[in-house]
Structure 1
Amino acid sequence: MTLERAFKGIWIPKEIWLNKELTLLEKVFFVEIDSLDNESGCFASNEYFSTFFDLSKNRCSEIIKSLEKKKMIRISYVYKENSKAIDKRIIRVLDKSNRGVRNLDRGTRNLEEGYSENCEDNNTYINNTSINSMYINKDDSLKEFSKLYEKNLGLINGIVAEWLVEMSETIDCKLFKRAIEIATEKSKCNLGYVKGIIRQWLDVNITTYEQLEAYQLQKKNQKEVKSNDRETKRRVQEESSENDRASEEARRAELLRRIRELDD
């Protein structure tokens, strides 16, 4: 099914953009659904949203269900004839008259709300400057995270912005920088690899660079202890072998002495 839009861009209403109950992903999902919610509703599948947002189908389904629970949208289903199998899903934005996508049939306008003059026909466009202003410029720590990301990994989109906000509230900037350095050293400086490094640290409750240093020192000491233990064990085994050889030689000498006594 071809999904059609009748607009020249999207406008995010103030009550949606500033809604503390919604995550950033829920906001961008909402405006995408709103842009596709025409007279018959939005028929976009999870596969469509998965491709559009570069997320898994399950994650897309979770976000849409969350919007439904928060009473932002209503979901209904059309079933195949004489069957319980779902033919299509219909998503409708609730209270659409008071919020949602503006139909800009008169071309682009410079709106105070942040509508971009660079919107193109038939493209869902979210102003990255607005995203950066809302999230990346939130505080000095977040600014440092964004600078490191843009310098080493690339441009920041809405999904990355949300992740950076989460990371800035979870780990310190020096630890984030170290993750990027490790990825660079291994010639794998991409978001997925950096996420993997940070995930490994979080699995052992490392959230600061100082904790990482302490953890690495502990590992080094443990390695040295194990090395020392192996060396001690080796020496004990060698000494034991030498003692065994000495005992065997003494036993043989005693046996030889007795044989000689019998011959005499």
Structure 2
Amino acid sequence: MIEQPSYYAIIPANVRYDKKLPSKAPLLYGEITALCNKEGVCWASDDYFMNLYEVSKSTIQSWLKSLDENGYIDREVILKKDSKEIDKRYIRISDRVYRKTGIPYADNLENPIPKNRVDNITNNNNTSINKEVEDAPQNNESESLVSEKKSFNLWQKNWGFPNSVAQQDLHEWINDFGDELVTHAIKYALRSNVTSRGADRYLWQVFDDYKKYKITTVEQALKKEEEHQQQKSREYAAEKTKRTNYRQPIQKEKLPDWSQEGYVPEAPKSTMSDEERDELKKKLSRFRKKEI
């Protein structure tokens, strides 16, 4: 079991709202800042992050690559002597982030930055502290704790307390769609018998559809759900008709001639040859002479 220390993670707005990043990469960024807060540099291996987020190694590497390519982290790899095998890997928060946001992430760094510009601080015991940021979207919910929302309470009541990943997702969904629509989506998932294990992934699909069809209200969602149900009913009826039409015809077995009304049996046909017939006549003739 991974130890859950009480140091803080910082996820600036420019990281949280960067559409070029995979959806969970900002969480990984926050964990890296937390580890940098503790050590001044992140030493954690891919295995550590794999166990923490319960994803594959390739997924972790993809998140790290995206953070690196978009200028949020710097990675340094040290190889073993006379070998291409990796000995150590360091991850640091990129100086480019500081220059762009003016946000500090640790007091023990060489160039700390004023503390009055903190965007989003999340410690890994799932407690969030959100403050207003100038560059955040105007409709964001950063001023209200996610835990105060109906959607959060509904999730907790039916699927248990949401982990840090689910909390981040809830925060993002509430920002994008509002608490009322997120609550409706959770109720829709519950009616579909979605379990806690698959809730996060299922809801991502729901909200992807909302974005695709530009759904922003509960009324629009209900209308789309009704259309979807009607479409399913039509497809079911069409499939049922197709199965009926392609059903093989029932073959009726023909009854034998002797079972038919008015049947007259045919006289048996002789199978004797002419010679055999002549021989039989001779035998009968001799037999009659003996009787006389």
The answer to whether the 8 A contact 2:46-2:60 is kept is yes
Identical amino acids, percent of aligned pairs: 20
Matches within 5 A, 1:249-264: 249=257, 256=264, 258-259=266-267
- Is the contact made by 1:183 and 1:194 (CA closer than 8 Å) also made in structure 2? no
Task: Tell me how far apart the structure 2 counterparts of residues 62 and 151 of structure 1 sit (CA, whole Å).
Answer: 34
Contact 2:124–2:164 (Cα < 8 Å) also in 1? no
Deviation at 1:175, TM superposition (A): 6.3
CA contact (8 A) 1:73 1:93 kept: yes
Distance 1:192 1:59 in 2: 18
Inter-partner Cα distance in structure 1 for 2:266 and 2:143:
94
Establish whether residue 78 from structure 1 lines up as the match of residue 78 from structure 2. Answer: yes
Aligned match of 2:191:
181
Contact 1:12–1:31 (8 Å) recurs in 2:
yes
TM-score if structure 2 supplies the norm length?
0.55
SS of equivalent to 2:193: helix
Instruction: List alignment gaps of at least 5 residues for structure 1.
Output: 105-109
Amino acid in structure 2 at the alignment position of 1:153: W
Q: 1:152 aligns with which of 153, 158, 164?
A: 158
SS of 1:76's partner is strand
**C-alpha distance in structure 1 between counterparts of 2:143 and 2:237, whole Å:** 41
Alignment partners' CA distance in 1, 2:189 and 2:238? 23
Q: Deviations over 1:24-56 (max 9, x none)?
A: 633332232223337773221111112223333
Report the equivalent of 1:25: 24
Alignment partner for residue 106 of structure 2, among 89, 102, 109?
102
Greater relative contact order (CA < 8 Å, ≥ 6 in sequence): 1
Letter in 1 for 2:31: E
Paired letter, 1:182? S
Alignment RMSD: 5.1
Partner of 1:63: 63
In the superposition, relative to structure 1, how do residues 92 and 23 fare at CA in structure 2: closer, same or farther (>3 Å)? same
Q: 2:185 touches 2:203 (CA, 8 Å); kept in 1?
A: no
Structure with higher Rg: it is: 2
Q: Number of residues paired by the alignment?
A: 229
Paired position in structure 2 for 1:241: 252
Measured at CA, do residues 259 and 166 of structure 1 come closer, stay the same or move farther in structure 2, by a change above 3 Å? farther
Q: TM-score, normalised by structure 1?
A: 0.60
SS at match of 2:41: coil
1:179, 1:194 within 8 Å by CA — same for their partners in 2?
no
The amino acid of 2:67's aligned partner reads L
For the residue of structure 1 that corresponds to 2:27, the secondary structure is: helix
Query: For 1:257 and 1:135, how far apart are their aligned partners in 2?
Result: 101
Whether contact under 8 Å (1:42, 1:91) holds in the other structure is: yes
Listed as ranges, the gaps of 5+ residues in structure 2 are 109-114, 132-139, 214-220, 271-292
Distance in 2 between residues matched to 1:259 and 1:199, nearest whole Å: 81
